[in-house]
Amino acid sequence: MKHYDFVEWLLYKNNALPEDMHDEMQEHLSNCDICMDIFLSLIDEKEILAAEDIIQKDFNDKVINKISENKIKVLKSKDNKRAFNYQFGYYVAVAAVTIILTFSGAYTNLVDSVPKITKSMEISEVQRPNVIVNFSEKIVNSTSAFLGSIENIERNKEGK
């Protein structure tokens, strides 16, 4: 995606571009947040005051009321019967799957297999050494031996 620079957006704002480039930049502006930030940084106090003269004082209230009216229309226009049928079908399907799993013994097998799985996990942990703990112990032992040898060297120097 090609981005436009500050100067190009300044020319766009002042309508100093050919119509085809102006249209292209306008399309780009609707899709690019980076260029939108650059363009919005060009808006100054004079333009804000001019916009206040054009826009009615109750503009925000009118827009919010229109949005609220549209939400109510959308909610009322939904087909409640269709939604009920969808939910009912969903619950029937879930109940059917539950009944099938119950009669097939899947839940019973699951309850019976959990203790077996737990027991096999305990056995495998006992058989497998913990590499991390062994590595940590080796580091501690090596460090202790190294420090001990340094202390012995210093004692030997002092003894001489």
Contact 8, 25 (CB under 8 A): yes
pLDDT one-digit tens code per residue, 63-97: 888 887 776 655 555 566 677 777 888 888 888 88
* Full DSSP string of 85-118: HHHHHHHHHHHHHHHHHHHHTHHHHHHHHHHHHH
* Full DSSP string of 33-72: HHHHHHHHHT--HHHHHHHHHHS-TTHHHHHHHHHHHHHH
Say what the pTM is.
Answer: 0.37
- Domain extent for 65: 6-77
Q: Residue 52 domain-assigned?
A: yes
Dihedral of alpha carbons 95, 111, 129, 137, sign: positive
Q: Residue 136 domain-assigned?
A: no
pLDDT one-digit tens code per residue, 107-133: 777 777 777 777 766 555 555 566 566
Q: Residue 120 domain-assigned?
A: no
pLDDT in the model for residue 20: 92
Q: Residue 44 domain-assigned?
A: yes
pLDDT one-digit tens code per residue, 36-64: 988 888 888 888 888 888 888 888 888 88
What is the number of domains present in the chain?
A: 1
Q: Residue 118 domain-assigned?
A: no
Q: Residue 37 domain-assigned?
A: yes
pLDDT in the model for residue 78: 56
